[in-house]
Chains A and B, each alone.
Chain A
Amino acid sequence: DTAVSQTPKYLVTQMGNDKSIKCEQNLGHDTMYWYKQDSKKFLKIMFSYNNKELIINETVPNRFSPKSPDKAHLNLHINSLELGDSAVYFCASSQSLTETQYFGPGTRLLVL
């Protein structure tokens, strides 16, 4: 059973398009996150949600809009995609804001 899953695994799209990445966790966790890994493999947090409430928005452009329909899901919608958005996006979850984070397999986004 996959603990944290993401769809799609790969996403290739044109500049200016709008796309969404979905994340689901079946661990019963209250907290979920989005991280971005750039081409140099540097990982940086984008958002954290606790009980569906936004906790962190780490100076991410407002073209990125996370949505948490329930505690098991945290989706990421990106408007007007830019070349610089090309990266691997990881979803993660934890029991609370101060406990171990478990990561999904990542979504590899390529903007052409």
Chain B
Amino acid sequence: AQSVTQPDIHITVSEGASLELRCNYSYGATPYLFWYVQSPGQGLQLLLKYFSGDTLVQGIKGFEAEFKRSQSSFNLRKPSVHWSDAAEYFCAVGAYNQGGKLIFGQGTELSVKP
């Protein structure tokens, strides 16, 4: 069955510290992957995406993610977190011939300590 797992429900980091949010997927087909961010009461904003090519992708707001096919992972990283990064982060996976269906992880809530 297709699934996306974000093992960490809630993470707290200090401002200026580095961040890694984990995402693992189980998919029968070759996937494409996204990270979205959702601030309270807001919609989902695309941070970055991977379809093919270089497995290290850069996104907005200083985020990057690395696709590791052997580990079925697509972890999100940021070298130095800012207080404004506090939000909910969602990993999503899609595949060709799936009618555009994205499967989302459960989300990781990020809190930032001053």
Contacts and interface: CB of A to CB of B under 8 A. Distances in A.
Tell whether A and B belong to one assembly. yes
A43 B38 CA distance: 12
Main secondary structure of the interface of A (DSSP, over half): strand
A55 B99 contact: yes
Given A103-B43, A106-B43, A48 B101 contact: yes
Chain B interface residue bracket vs A:
20 to 34
Contacts of B32: 98
Given A48-B100, A90-B43, 16 more contacts: A41-B88, A41-B107, A43-B44, A43-B104, A44-B104, A45-B102, A48-B99, A55-B100, A56-B100, A56-B101, A90-B44, A98-B100, A100-B34, A102-B46, A103-B36, A105-B42
17 contacts: A41-B88, A42-B104, A42-B107, A43-B44, A43-B92, A43-B104, A45-B101, A48-B100, A48-B101, A55-B100, A97-B98, A98-B94, A98-B100, A100-B34, A101-B34, A102-B46, A103-B44
Contacts of A103: 36, 43-45
Interface in A30-64: 31, 33, 40-45, 48, 50, 55-56, 58
Chain A interface residue bracket vs B:
20 to 34
Contacts of A105: 42-43
A100 B49 contact: yes
